[in-house]
Amino acid sequence: MSQEISVSLVRKGPAIDLDFESAALGAIHVDNNALSEDERTGSAKKLLGASVLYCYVAALDKALDTRGAKYDSITARATVQAGSNDKGQGRILGIILDVTVHMDADYEDIFERVSKVMRHGCLISASLEAAFPVTYNLELECPDD
C-alpha cells in the first residue's frame, strides 16, 4: 500500500507561500524583503529538522501509549548539520535528535523497552539514514519524589 502527500509552493520574487494542504498545518508565508540575509538562510533545513522531529515524537508517543505508559511531556530538538561534499556541493551531513520524555518513574521499564524500538527511528528518519546519519538521543526524566 502506498500513500501520497502533497505540499504546494508559490514563489513571487521574495514572497513564498508554502501550503501544507492540511487543516493541522495550514500555510506559511515568507516575505524575504522583511528578513535580514542571516534570517533568510536555513529555512529548508529547519523544515527538514521539524519534519524528522515531528515524525519521531509521534512514533514515540504511539509506542509509549501502546504499552500503557503515560507521560507528562516530551521535549525535543533537532539539530541539522550541513556542509559540503567532496565536490563542494552543499549537503545535509546529519541530523541529531535530542528527545526527553518527562514521566513518572513507574514507567521506567516501559521507557527502556520503547527506547530500544526507537533506535530504529521513524518513517522519515529511517528513510533519510541511507543518505546521512541520524543520531537518536532519547532520555528519561522523572520528577523528584
Percent with pLDDT over 90 in the chain: 89
Q: What is the pLDDT of residues 47-77, one digit of tens each?
A: 999 999 999 999 999 999 999 999 999 999 9
- The topology under which CATH files domain 42-141 is GMP Synthetase; Chain A, domain 3 (3.30.300)
Which is nearest to 29 in space by CA: 47, 15, 50, 13? 15
99 pLDDT exceeds 80?
yes
- Under a CB-based contact definition with an 8 Å cutoff, are residues 60 and 101 in contact? yes
**Single-letter code of the amino acid located at 11:** R
Beta-carbon contacts of 104 under 8 Å, excluding residues fewer than 6 positions away, are 70, 72, 142, 143
Residue 39 confidence (pLDDT): 86
Residue 123 confidence (pLDDT): 96
**pTM of this structure:** 0.92
Q: How far is CA 60 from CA 53, 75, 94, in A?
A: 10, 12, 20
Domain boundaries, the chain: 8-37, 42-141
Residue 60 confidence (pLDDT): 98
- Under a CB-based contact definition with an 8 Å cutoff, are residues 101 and 64 in contact? yes
pLDDT tier for residue 42 given thresholds of 50, 70 and 90: confident
14 pLDDT exceeds 60?
yes
- Under a CB-based contact definition with an 8 Å cutoff, are residues 134 and 83 in contact? no
For 85-126, where are the E strands, in sequence order? 90-102
125 pLDDT exceeds 80?
yes
Q: How far is CA 141 from CA 9, 43, 61, 76, 104, in A?
A: 40, 31, 15, 13, 8
